[in-house]
Amino acid sequence: MKEIEHQLKKGVYTLKAALVVEKTLLTLARKANIIEAIHWANHLEEARSQNDTEEREYALLELYRTLHTAGSGYSQEEKKILEEQKGLHGLSGGLTPLFMAATLLTPATRMVDLGAGNGLQGLILQMLVPHCHTLQVELSQSHIAMGRRYQSILGLSENKMSWHQGDLFEAPLGKVTFLYLYRPVRPSETTRPLYARLAHAIEDMVPPPMVMSVADCLTPHFKNPQVPLYQSEFITITLPANT
């Protein structure tokens, strides 16, 4: 764990990882035939051909944002649930969390993304570090339909990835070893009980998983938190105290 902590603190960006992400996003843009994504794919490839590093990075981030929000949509019932929970959607948050998460994965990892949207993060992480399994948990059927389309394009088998449509607390988390969470609901007095319930449910998992909480509102609710493996203003990575 000391070595992982050191890697996280010194930075996790590598050219190899960036090229994997770039190739993955370009493949999705072309084969999913999403007009805005194709625009940014063209922009990226033009910047690459001109060796314009700054513009290439900008286009890559815009391509990621565009693909991340594709397929967004909620039924009336899903919207009602989302509003009741003060839910957030369509937040991409840049690529840094993915590069950091990739540092934590091993071939044996069984990962879950809670509030996965169209699952782009989990898909990219499978491409960056192929691992045992990724469970994508999402409320919106529309998001999941797009995510399955992405999965097919990337050639990721059902053995590598599965989807759970519905409430976070109904997802089958029994075998999860790494939990990825990007602030699914707005932090407030109204949503505090949801975060507390989720934190306690994670602590009750046997064995409890490593947790990466992005835009972190979760870890303050652990009953017995230990010193985080990594913590910044944006990301907290921790192992619950009973590990």
- The predicted pLDDT at position 6 comes to 57
pLDDT string in tens for the chain (243-residue length): 555 555 555 556 678 889 999 999 999 999 998 999 999 999 999 999 999 999 999 999 999 999 998 876 655 665 555 555 544 444 556 888 999 999 999 999 999 999 899 999 999 999 999 999 999 999 889 999 999 999 999 999 999 999 999 888 889 998 999 999 987 666 677 778 888 898 999 988 888 899 999 988 888 888 887 778 888 888 999 876 655
Angstrom distance (rounded) from CA 222 to CA 178:
16
pLDDT digits (tens, 9 = 90+) for 102-122: 999 999 999 999 989 999 999
**pLDDT at position 192:** 83
CA distance 74 to 115: 13
Global pTM value: 0.86
Q: Which domains does the chain have, with CATH numbers?
A: 2-69 (no CATH), 76-238 (3.40.50.150)
d(CA 115, CA 185) in angstroms, rounded, equals 9
| pLDDT, position 90 | 47
Q: Give me the torsion for CA of 155, 159, 160, 161, rounded to 10°.
A: 90
Question: pLDDT exceeding 90 applies to what percent of the chain?
Answer: 52
